[in-house]
Structure 1
Amino acid sequence: MVFKTHFDLGFTDLPENVFKRYREEMMTNALSIIEKNALLPKEKRFSWTVSGWPLQAQILGPLQPSERKAQIGQAIKTGALVVHGLPFTTHTESLDYEDLVRGLGYSSMITRNYGLPMTISAKMTDVPAHSWILPTLLHHAGIKFLQLGCNPASQYPRFPELFWWEGPDGSKVLCNYTALYGSDIRPPENWPCKNYLAMQMTGDNHGPPTSQEIDNLLAYAAREMPGVRIHFGTLDDFAKAVLAEHPVLPTVKGDCPDTWIHGIQSNPQETRIARNIRPLESALDALHTQMSSWGIPTASISGELAKAYEQSLLYGEHTWGMNAEYGPRYSYGDDWRKWMAAAAAEPLPPNGDYTLLKNSDAHNTSIGSKRKWLHSYDEKRRYILNTRDIVYNRLNQDLHLLASSVKKTGKRIVIYNPLPWKRSGMIENPWQKGSYYFVKDVPPSGYVTWSPEAQDSPRISHDREPVLNTPSFQVTFDLTRGGISSLIEKPTGRQLADTTAAYVIGQFLHERFSTHEVDNWFNAYSRIKDGWGLNDLGKPGMIDATKAPYLAFTPKAWDIDVAHTAAADIATLSATDPEGHAENYTLTFTFPRDAAYVDVTWSVTNKTPDKQPEGGWLCFPFNVQQPTFTMGRPGGPVDPSKDIIPGCNRYLMAINSGVAITSPDKSGMALSSADAPLVSPGEPGLWKYSMDYIPRQPALFVNLYNNMWNTNFALWQEGTWTESVRIWPVARGTSTTENLVKYAWETRVPLLTATAEGAPGILPETQQGIAISRPGVLVTAFGDNPDGDGTILRLWEQAGISGNCTVNFNDQQKIKAVLPLDLRGNKKGAPIAVKKGSFVFRLDRYSPASFLLIYEKPKK
Structure 2
Amino acid sequence: MKSTKILLLLLTMSVSTAIAQQQKKTRINPKVTDIWVVFKTHFDLGFTDLPENVFKRYREEMMDNALAVIEKSATLPPEKRFAWTVSGWPLQAQILGPQQTPERRVRIEKAIKTGALVVHGLPFTTHTESLDYEDLVRGLGYTSAITRKYGLPMTISAKMTDVPSHSWVMPTLLHHAGIKFLQLGCNPASQYPRFPELFWWEGPDGSKILCNYTPLYGSDIRPTENWPCKNYLAMQMTGDNHGPPSSQEIDKLLAFAAKEMPGVKIHFGTLDEFTKAVLAEHPDLPTVKGDCPDTWIHGLQSNPEETKTARNVRPLESALDALNTQLNGWGIPTASVAEKLAKAYEQSLLYGEHTWGMNAEYGPRYSYGDDWKKWMQEAAAEPIPENGNYANLKNSDAHHTSTGSKRKWLHSYDEKRQYIRNTNDIVSKELPQRLDLLAASINKKGKRVLVYNPLPWKRSGMIEDPWKKNNYYYIQDIPASGYVSYSVEELKEQNITHSEQPSFSTPYFDVTFDLTKGGISSLVEKSTGRQLVDKSSAYVMGQFLHERFSTQEVDKWFNAYSRIKDGWGLNDLGKPGMLDAEKAPYLAFTPNAWKIDVARTNVSDIVTLTAVETAGHAENYTLTFTFPRNAAYVDVAWTVTGKTPDKQPEGGWLCFPFNVQQPTFTIGRPGGAINPATDIIPGCNRYLMAVNSGVAITQPDKSGMALASADAPLISPGEPGLWKWDMDYVPTTPAVFVNLYNNMWNTNFRLWQDGSWSESVRIWPVDKGTSTVANLVQHSWETRLPLLTGTAEGAAGKLPARQSGVAVSGTGVLITAFGENPDGNGTILRLWEQAGISGIRKVTFNDQKKIKSVVPIDLRGNKTGAAIAVKNGSFDFQLGKYSPASFQLVYQD
Question: TM-score category by the smaller chain?
Answer: over 0.9
Once the 2 structures are TM-superposed, how far is the Cα of residue 529 of structure 1 from its aligned partner? 0.0
- Match among 664, 672, 682 for residue 718 of structure 2: 682
Partner of 1:589: 625
User: Are residues 1:728 and 2:730 paired?
Assistant: no
- Paired with 2:635 and 2:404, the residues of 1 have a C-alpha distance of 45
Partner of 2:33: none
Partner of 2:13: none
User: Are residues 1:537 and 2:562 paired?
Assistant: no
User: Are residues 1:799 and 2:835 paired?
Assistant: yes
Q: What letter matches 2:891 in structure 1?
A: Y
Q: What letter matches 2:759 in structure 1?
A: E
User: Are residues 1:579 and 2:601 paired?
Assistant: no
Are the counterparts in 2 of residues 359 and 366 from structure 1 also a CA contact under 8 Å? no
User: Are residues 1:569 and 2:591 paired?
Assistant: no
User: Are residues 1:658 and 2:688 paired?
Assistant: no
Please list the CA deviations of residues 821-860 of structure 1 after superposition, one character each: whole Å capped at 9, or x if unmatched. Answer: 0000000000000000000000000000000000011xxx
SS at match of 1:415: strand
Partner of 1:747: 783
Please list the CA deviations of residues 522-576 of structure 1 after superposition, one character each: whole Å capped at 9, or x if unmatched. Answer: 0000000000000000000001101100000000000000000111000000000
- Paired with 2:531 and 2:889, the residues of 1 have a C-alpha distance of 50
Partner of 1:93: 129
Please list the CA deviations of residues 592-624 of structure 1 after superposition, one character each: whole Å capped at 9, or x if unmatched. Answer: 000000000000000000000000000000000
- Paired with 2:320 and 2:404, the residues of 1 have a C-alpha distance of 41
SS at match of 1:356: coil
User: Are residues 1:299 and 2:309 paired?
Assistant: no
User: Are residues 1:60 and 2:99 paired?
Assistant: no
Once the 2 structures are TM-superposed, how far is the Cα of residue 361 of structure 1 from its aligned partner? 2.5
- Paired with 2:504 and 2:469, the residues of 1 have a C-alpha distance of 24
Partner of 2:642: 606
- Paired with 1:606 and 1:240, the residues of 2 have a C-alpha distance of 57
Are the counterparts in 2 of residues 332 and 541 from structure 1 also a CA contact under 8 Å? yes
Partner of 1:234: 270
Please list the CA deviations of residues 566-587 of structure 1 after superposition, one character each: whole Å capped at 9, or x if unmatched. Answer: 1100000000000100000000
Once the 2 structures are TM-superposed, how far is the Cα of residue 225 of structure 1 from its aligned partner? 1.3
Partner of 2:82: 46
Instruction: Please give the residue correspondences for 1:743-782 in structure 2 after superposition, counting only pairs within 5 Å.
Output: 743-782=779-818
Q: What letter matches 1:10 in structure 2?
A: G
Q: What letter matches 2:519 in structure 1?
A: G
Partner of 1:125: 161
Please list the CA deviations of residues 449-506 of structure 1 after superposition, one character each: whole Å capped at 9, or x if unmatched. Answer: 0112222222000000000210000000000000000000001100000011000000
- Match among 395, 416, 421 for residue 385 of structure 1: 421
Runs of 5+ consecutive residues of structure 1 not aligned to the other structure? none
SS at match of 1:715: coil
- Paired with 2:109 and 2:288, the residues of 1 have a C-alpha distance of 39
Q: What letter matches 1:740 in structure 2?
A: L
- Paired with 1:301 and 1:413, the residues of 2 have a C-alpha distance of 24
User: Are residues 1:649 and 2:649 paired?
Assistant: no
Partner of 2:282: 246
Decide which moves more: 450-459 or 624-633: 450-459
Are the counterparts in 1 of residues 364 and 372 from structure 2 also a CA contact under 8 Å? yes
- Paired with 1:595 and 1:67, the residues of 2 have a C-alpha distance of 64
Are the counterparts in 2 of residues 129 and 648 from structure 1 also a CA contact under 8 Å? yes
- Paired with 1:459 and 1:367, the residues of 2 have a C-alpha distance of 63
Are the counterparts in 1 of residues 543 and 655 from structure 2 also a CA contact under 8 Å? yes
SS at match of 1:305: helix
Partner of 1:695: 731
Instruction: Please give the residue correspondences for 1:157-306 in structure 2 after superposition, counting only pairs within 5 Å.
Output: 157-306=193-342
SS at match of 1:197: strand
Once the 2 structures are TM-superposed, how far is the Cα of residue 362 of structure 1 from its aligned partner? 2.2
Runs of 5+ consecutive residues of structure 2 not aligned to the other structure? 1-36
- Paired with 2:403 and 2:641, the residues of 1 have a C-alpha distance of 33
Instruction: Please give the residue correspondences for 1:418-497 in structure 2 after superposition, counting only pairs within 5 Å.
Output: 418-497=454-533
Are the counterparts in 1 of residues 397 and 404 from structure 2 also a CA contact under 8 Å? no
Partner of 1:409: 445
Are the counterparts in 1 of residues 774 and 836 from structure 2 also a CA contact under 8 Å? yes
User: Are residues 1:523 and 2:559 paired?
Assistant: yes
SS at match of 1:381: helix
- Paired with 2:404 and 2:76, the residues of 1 have a C-alpha distance of 48
Once the 2 structures are TM-superposed, how far is the Cα of residue 380 of structure 1 from its aligned partner? 0.1
- Match among 754, 773, 788 for residue 824 of structure 2: 788
Q: What letter matches 2:235 in structure 1?
A: M
Partner of 1:714: 750
Once the 2 structures are TM-superposed, how far is the Cα of residue 350 of structure 1 from its aligned partner? 2.2
Please list the CA deviations of residues 322-366 of structure 1 after superposition, one character each: whole Å capped at 9, or x if unmatched. Answer: 000000000000000000000011111122100010122222346
User: Are residues 1:824 and 2:824 paired?
Assistant: no
SS at match of 2:232: coil
SS at match of 1:198: strand
Please list the CA deviations of residues 144-191 of structure 1 after superposition, one character each: whole Å capped at 9, or x if unmatched. Answer: 000000000000000000000000000000000000000011111121
Are the counterparts in 1 of residues 856 and 887 from structure 2 also a CA contact under 8 Å? yes
Identity of aligned residues (%): 78
Once the 2 structures are TM-superposed, how far is the Cα of residue 40 of structure 1 from its aligned partner? 0.2
SS at match of 1:196: strand
Please list the CA deviations of residues 206-240 of structure 1 after superposition, one character each: whole Å capped at 9, or x if unmatched. Answer: 00011111111111111221211110000001100
Decide which moves more: 445-454 or 98-107: 445-454
- Paired with 1:812 and 1:456, the residues of 2 have a C-alpha distance of 34
Partner of 1:75: 111
SS at match of 1:309: helix
Decide which moves more: 276-285 or 358-367: 358-367
SS at match of 1:582: coil
Are the counterparts in 2 of residues 283 and 418 from structure 1 also a CA contact under 8 Å? yes
SS at match of 1:70: helix
- Paired with 2:356 and 2:766, the residues of 1 have a C-alpha distance of 38
- Paired with 1:808 and 1:70, the residues of 2 have a C-alpha distance of 48
Please list the CA deviations of residues 229-279 of structure 1 after superposition, one character each: whole Å capped at 9, or x if unmatched. Answer: 110000001100000001100000000000000000000000000000000
- Paired with 2:465 and 2:403, the residues of 1 have a C-alpha distance of 51
TM-score w.r.t. length of structure 1 = 0.99
Are the counterparts in 2 of residues 358 and 366 from structure 1 also a CA contact under 8 Å? no
Partner of 1:839: 875
Q: What letter matches 1:346 in structure 2?
A: E
Partner of 2:34: none
Are the counterparts in 2 of residues 346 and 368 from structure 1 also a CA contact under 8 Å? no
Q: What letter matches 2:652 in structure 1?
A: G
Once the 2 structures are TM-superposed, how far is the Cα of residue 69 of structure 1 from its aligned partner? 1.3
- Paired with 1:528 and 1:796, the residues of 2 have a C-alpha distance of 41
Partner of 1:551: 587
Partner of 2:668: 632
User: Are residues 1:370 and 2:384 paired?
Assistant: no
- Paired with 2:641 and 2:177, the residues of 1 have a C-alpha distance of 45
Are the counterparts in 2 of residues 155 and 526 from structure 1 also a CA contact under 8 Å? yes
User: Are residues 1:33 and 2:56 paired?
Assistant: no
SS at match of 2:233: coil
SS at match of 1:720: strand
Q: What letter matches 1:238 in structure 2?
A: F
Count residues in correspondence. Answer: 857
* C-alpha distance 334-300 of structure 1, shift in aligned 2 (>3 A): same
Aligned residues: CA RMSD: 0.7
